[in-house]
């Protein structure tokens, strides 16, 4: 191997920054330069970097016990599951290590519920949506309605069909005697920050009810306060059968969860599914501290208020900017649609010490800490709006 060559696979296109320290909405690079973080490691560090309430619990747990395996009882899993169940419409929880694994568990429980509990193994097809994102494992990249995510990985597992987003009639046409579930993001995160229409969500929930399908909500990006409610489904007046979580749940410590309604409990009988690390002591200590802090500080309510403020500021300040298209989102998951490719604009915003992230080629995504201060938000908005004004002026010459 060449000495100057990286020993990593080149599967990530990385920005030219190396961060060495974080606190709240601040990051510092190896030269001591400070950055304002408006992306939270892809909607993960909802309480900001290194929040005291969480780091203290994690440090305590590091000194006590890390891992025993899922062959033994685990009080941290029980406690975190109780918190999630008490604060959602779900009744039972399975812990894993990532979003893709949570969605794998959701796909598996849907198939197994129909094959083993209802004894209808022919019903194994799941309807998902164009421009969705559900993960990078073989089943979840197949569930993902984006060609670029599937490219080169054939043969893909069967059992997935795709509907256009926000089109309930198209969903209805895809329902057949083989359908077992509909899998949906209430705001498509990676697909461009596309919120679902309330009428569409109601219609999909109704279709599930009428046809006996499971409604699986992928809340991996929208959950844990991100959209201004603890779970995005609370905005829509519906109840899913399955919820998947990951990103915000451990504030950066790897943990995922699949939550399900009571009728699904026995679909995952002993030995039917599992993972070595899922819900280990470090992960659940972090998850418990994160959830308790989010609930105690009403981080969801704060996200709702700050999200409204950012949205109205962006709409006012960018109203006459010809480079700006639709501004959309829910709570603190905000997409700034551009009429041009966003890469150069994002690069310029980064160079001014503000971290934002694209969601597709033409959308700048904001996903700041749920607890971000108004001063930080105002500074970020100044940089974003001034950069877009300059870019518009340059484009006009």
Ligand X SMILES: *Cc1c(COP(=O)(O)O)cnc(C)c1O
- Binding-site residues, in ranges, read 99-100, 133, 136, 218-221, 275-276
Least distance between ligand X and beta carbon 96 (Å): 9
Least distance between ligand X and beta carbon 354 (Å): 22
CB-CB contact of 265 with 19 (8 Å): no
Phi, psi of 58 (to 5 degrees): -65, -45
Quote the Cα angle for 379-384-390, to 5°.
125
Least distance between ligand X and beta carbon 220 (Å): 4
- Number of chain positions touching ligand X (CB under 6 A): 15
Whole-angstrom distance, CA of residue 276 vs CA of residue 74: 13
Taking CA atoms, 232 is separated from 88, 199, 377, 395, in Å, by 11, 15, 22, 38
Can you say which residues are annotated as belonging to the binding site for N(2)-acetyl-L-ornithine?
136, 275
Strands 214-218 and 194-195: unpaired
Question: Looking at beta carbons only, is 183 or 318 nearer to ligand X?
Answer: 183
**What is the three-class DSSP state of 158?**
coil
Q: In what order do the strands lie in the sheet with 324-330?
A: 324-330, 333-338, 363-366, 357-358
Whole-angstrom distance, CA of residue 236 vs CA of residue 232: 8
Least distance between ligand X and beta carbon 145 (Å): 12
Question: Looking at beta carbons only, is 123 or 365 nearer to ligand X?
Answer: 365
Least distance between ligand X and beta carbon 135 (Å): 4
Helices (H), ranges, the chain: 40-43, 52-62, 75-86, 99-112, 138-143, 147-150, 168-174, 198-211, 281-296, 299-317, 343-351, 374-396
Question: Looking at beta carbons only, is 93 or 220 nearer to ligand X?
Answer: 220
| Residues whose CB falls within 8 Å of the CB of residue 43, separated by 6 or more in sequence, listed in order | 189, 221, 226, 247, 248, 333, 367
Quote the Cα angle for 119-161-182, to 5°.
60
Q: By Cβ distance, which residue is nearest to ligand X?
A: 99
Question: Looking at beta carbons only, is 245 or 318 nearer to ligand X?
Answer: 245
User: Any contact of residue 100 with ligand X (CB under 6 A)?
Assistant: yes
Q: Using CB under 6 A, which residues numbered 218 to 257 contact ligand X?
A: 218, 220-221, 246-247
User: Any contact of residue 134 with ligand X (CB under 6 A)?
Assistant: yes
Question: Looking at beta carbons only, is 258 or 310 nearer to ligand X?
Answer: 258
Least distance between ligand X and beta carbon 56 (Å): 25
Least distance between ligand X and beta carbon 256 (Å): 6
Q: Using CB under 6 A, which residues numbered 164 to 203 contact ligand X?
A: 185, 189-190
User: Any contact of residue 99 with ligand X (CB under 6 A)?
Assistant: yes
Question: Looking at beta carbons only, is 223 or 380 nearer to ligand X?
Answer: 223
User: Any contact of residue 365 with ligand X (CB under 6 A)?
Assistant: no
Which residues here bind ligand X, judged by CB under 6 A? 98-100, 103, 133-135, 185, 189-190, 218, 220-221, 246-247
């Amino acid at each position: 191997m060449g000495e100057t060559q990286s020993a990593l696979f080149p599967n990530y296109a990385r920005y030219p920054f190396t961060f060495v320290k974080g606190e709240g909405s601040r990051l510092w690079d190896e030269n001591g330069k400070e950055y304002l973080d408006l992306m939270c490691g892809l909607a993960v560090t909802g309480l900001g970097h290194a929040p005291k309430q969480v780091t203290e619990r994690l440090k305590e747990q590091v000194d006590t016990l890390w891992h025993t395996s899922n062959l033994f009882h685990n009080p941290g899993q029980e406690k975190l599951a109780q918190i999630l169940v008490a604060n959602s419409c779900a009744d039972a929880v399975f812990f894993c290590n990532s979003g893709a694994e949570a969605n794998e568990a959701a796909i598996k429980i849907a198939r197994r519920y129909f094959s083993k509990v209802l004894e209808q193994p022919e019903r194994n097809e799941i309807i998902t949506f164009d421009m969705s994102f559900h993960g990078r494992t073989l089943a979840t990249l197949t569930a993902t309605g984006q060609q670029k995510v599937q490219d080169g990985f054939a043969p893909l597992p069967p059992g997935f069909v795709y509907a256009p987003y926000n089109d309930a009639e198209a969903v209805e046409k895809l329902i057949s005697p083989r359908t077992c579930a509909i899998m949906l993001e209430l705001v498509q995160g990676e697909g461009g920050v596309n919120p679902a229409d309330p009428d569409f969500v109601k219609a999909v929930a109704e279709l599930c009810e009428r046809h006996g399908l499971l409604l699986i909500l992928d809340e991996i990006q929208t959950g844990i306060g991100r959209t201004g409610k603890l779970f995005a489904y609370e905005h829509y007046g519906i109840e899913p059968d399955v919820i998947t979580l990951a990103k915000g749940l451990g504030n950066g410590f790897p943990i995922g969860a699949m939550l399900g309604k009571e009728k699904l409990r026995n679909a995952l009988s002993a030995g039917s599914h599992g993972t070595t690390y899922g819900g280990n002591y470090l992960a659940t200590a972090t998850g418990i501290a994160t959830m308790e802090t989010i609930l105690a500080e009403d981080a969801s309510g704060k996200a709702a208020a700050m999200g409204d403020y950012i949205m109205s500021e962006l709409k006012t300040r960018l109203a006459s900017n010809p480079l700006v298209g639709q501004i959309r989102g829910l709570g603190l998951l905000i997409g700034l649609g551009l009429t041009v490719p966003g890469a150069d604009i994002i690069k310029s915003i980064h160079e001014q010490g503000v971290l934002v992230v694209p969601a597709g080629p033409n959308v700048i995504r904001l996903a700041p800490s749920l607890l971000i201060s108004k001063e930080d938000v105002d500074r970020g908005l100044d940089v974003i709006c001034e950069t877009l004004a300059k870019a518009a002026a340059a484009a006009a010459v």
